[in-house]
Amino acid sequence: MGKVIAIDGPSGAGKSSVSKAIAEKLGFQFLDTGALYRAIALHLRRKELSDDALYDETSNAIKGITIAFSNDRVFLNGKDVSDAIRTTEAGHYASIFSAKKAVRDALLSIQRDAAVNHDVVAEGRDMGTVVFPDAWKKFYLDASEEGRAKRRYDQLQGKGVEITIEEALNDVRERDLRDSKRDIAPLKKADDAICIDSTFLSLDEVVEKILSCIDE
Ligand code: DC
């Protein structure tokens, strides 16, 4: 098992950019678990699985799917879905389907396998609590709701997605509530995670802070 740096936190706290930068600096692989949940949700939507489908039905619908990362792109069953999984709708359904045990069970081994032969920076909601409870280092990245909505707004605008700041605020609010209230693997700070508030920090400042904690 390689070294794992676990970075959890709510949506829009900057986890992806920070994790990617840290992975690059340390020569670790970047594991974007949100992309896994987004891709699986896209697959289930395409299969027209209902939100209230039971375990077996969900599990059967997932059986045999492949999700792969290559050159910053995400492939679902061999097809590039990098843009399709980044819409607000894809995030909404990722949040809904990620509450299902069959989905979490299917992704658990995929996530753990990613760290078997590599050092990884793994970002998500339950990295430090469930997937990698023995992670080498654990962080919880947080920010004010307004700060997170603004970050989400900027990200989506940058990708050409039409969104208002109110819609971005509703998106982070609604998803965080659902992600932290679900029964299985809810968004939660691990007891031994270092908490960092990124509201008034730039990307570089957050990265520096995390690197200096790792050095200590
Ligand atoms: O990080 P993200 O916005 O790409 O994640 C999309 C959704 O996937 C998020 O709202 C909840 C779910 N998710 C999860 O339940 N557990 C993870 N480790 C990562 C994401």
Instruction: Kindly state the tokens that stand for 14.
Output: 């900057």
- For the chain, percent of residues with pLDDT exceeding 90: 92
Residue 121 has pLDDT above 90, yes or no: yes
DSSP H helices, 50-87, are: 55-62
d(CA 198, CA 81): 29
Distance 205 CA to ligand 1 centre (A): 24
- The overall longest dimension of the chain from CA atoms, in Å, is 49
Give the model's confidence band at 135: pLDDT under 50 very low, under 70 low, under 90 confident, else very high: very high
Please give the pLDDT value at position 140: 98
Please give the pLDDT value at position 186: 96
Mean pLDDT estimate for the chain: 95
The answer to whether the CB of 175 is under 6 A from ligand 1 is yes
Helix (H) or strand (E) holding 214: helix 203-215
Distance 150 CA to ligand 1 centre (A): 18
Average pLDDT in the 13-18 region? 96
Residue 67 has pLDDT above 90, yes or no: yes
- Single pTM value for the model: 0.96
Helix (H) or strand (E) holding 67: strand 67-70
Instruction: Tell me the per-residue pLDDT of 137-175, one tens digit each, with 9 for 90 and over.
Output: 999 999 999 999 999 999 888 888 888 999 999 999 999
Q: In what order do the strands lie in the sheet with 67-70?
A: 67-70, 73-76, 79-80
Please give the pLDDT value at position 161: 83
Q: Supply the residue whose CA is at minimum distance from atom 6 of ligand 1.
A: 34
Please give the pLDDT value at position 158: 87
Please give the pLDDT value at position 1: 86
d(CA 148, CA 16): 13
**CATH code at 4-210:** 3.40.50.300
The answer to whether the CB of 31 is under 6 A from ligand 1 is no
The answer to whether the CB of 176 is under 6 A from ligand 1 is no
